[in-house]
Amino acid sequence: MRPRIATLDFARGIAIFGILLLNISAFGLPKAAYLNPAFSGQPSHSDAWTWAILDALAQGKFLMMFAMLFGGGLYLLLPRGKHWIQSRLSLLVLCGLLHATFFWDGDILLSYGLIGLVCWRMVREGRSSQSLISTGILLYAIGVAILLMLGFISTHTPGSFWSPGPADLQYEQYWKLKGGLEAIRNRLDLLSSSLMAIAVQYGWELAGAMLLGAGLMRSGWLRGGYSLRHYRYLAALLLPLSLLIQLPAIYLQWHLGWAYRWSGFLLQAPREIGGMMQAVGYLALCYGFWPHLSRLRMAHWISQVGRMALTNYLLQTLICTLFFNILGFYQHFDRLQLLALVPLVWVINLAVTLAWLRYFPQGPVEWLWRKLTIKASGIALKEQD
């Protein structure tokens, strides 16, 4: 096994923790609430402010941060050869499909695996780190442009996915709490919509982030190969600039009452542009202050969470589905109250991670993923021979 990059593990752990800041509302509230705080009428003051702060600081940022780290990981896997990479990504697709079908409709593993299968050859064939970065920015920009185009051609009247009626909300609560075949059928319906969104728009952004991450890894940026001054200067530049781009859009969404066309499409574009800049800025903070962070015990613990990123992502699903769906706390909390539950899940992530890695070198899902990859890539090599 290759030596681990501590800063990379720390950044990955931060991303896993950060993703839950938004996912918690997807676990505890109707799906429409993820982007639309006015999904069932005018939101409370605290609910609107919680949405606004999370939109500015977290929405999409940690997903793109994780996608860049994923792309950097693809570059590190290139020496293992195409059979290893294809087998590994195909298994991730299978894991995502099972996760999305039987556990939670907010899965990201399937999309990461599918886009990874498309991108890894582009990572391998990239002439230089700059060409990978430039291509990544171009693909991301295409995704943003498609988002704007969809906004201009979309209907003014939203569907139930944006403004569900009382019957829709009641049915969503019914199947999420009941589980079984009814829940599987609905999760598959949502999965088909998610795959369509990936094919049409989101996949471009995801591919762009992965190629950008691969370019940053190839250049040495994600290995911590630049000066601390460089990382700190970049963070000081990108983070305020990203907020300058996003804050007017957040204000307008609130001012317009989260109108479908504006909040669902047109005013998401500033978030997507600023969000990618912010994700790079967050990474720059991790690398720029790593000499100080590395002295903290908490930073070491978060790095351990990053070592078990896949296990911890799935563990968050198990914790939240148990609490909200099986124990019946779905729709019992507002957005701010849900946010207060996030540190409790983080503590469980930390406790499980530290206990497990005390006795084993890898997380349980990472171990299984590696073993199955070895077997699958070995079968592929035998078939080729």
pTM of the model: 0.94
Q: How far apart are the first and last CA of the chain?
A: 26
Domain boundaries, the chain: 6-384
Q: How far apart are CA 296 and CA 118, in angstroms?
A: 39
What digits encode the pLDDT tens for the residues 125-167? Answer: 999 999 999 999 999 999 999 999 999 988 777 777 898 999 9
pLDDT greater than 60 at residue 76: yes
What digits encode the pLDDT tens for the residues 301-354? Answer: 999 999 999 999 999 999 999 999 999 999 999 999 999 999 999 999 999 999
Average of pLDDT values for 62-66? 96
What digits encode the pLDDT tens for the residues 235-263? Answer: 999 999 999 999 999 999 999 999 999 99
Residue 359: per-residue pLDDT:
96
- For residue 162, the tally of other CB atoms under 10 A from its CB is 19
Listing DSSP states for 26-87 in one string gives: HHHS-GGGGT-TTBTBSPPHHHHHHHHHHHHHTTTHHHHHHHHHHHHHHHHHGGG-HHHHHH
Please answer whether residues 284 and 236 qualify as being in contact, where contact means their C-beta atoms are separated by less than 8 angstroms: no
Listed residue (219, 207, 206, 231) closest to 11, CA to CA: 231
Q: How far apart are CA 311 and CA 82, in angstroms?
A: 24
Q: How far apart are CA 214 and CA 120, in angstroms?
A: 9
> Which is it for the CA torsion 202, 268, 242, 349, positive or negative?
negative
Q: How far apart are CA 231 and CA 194, in angstroms?
A: 35
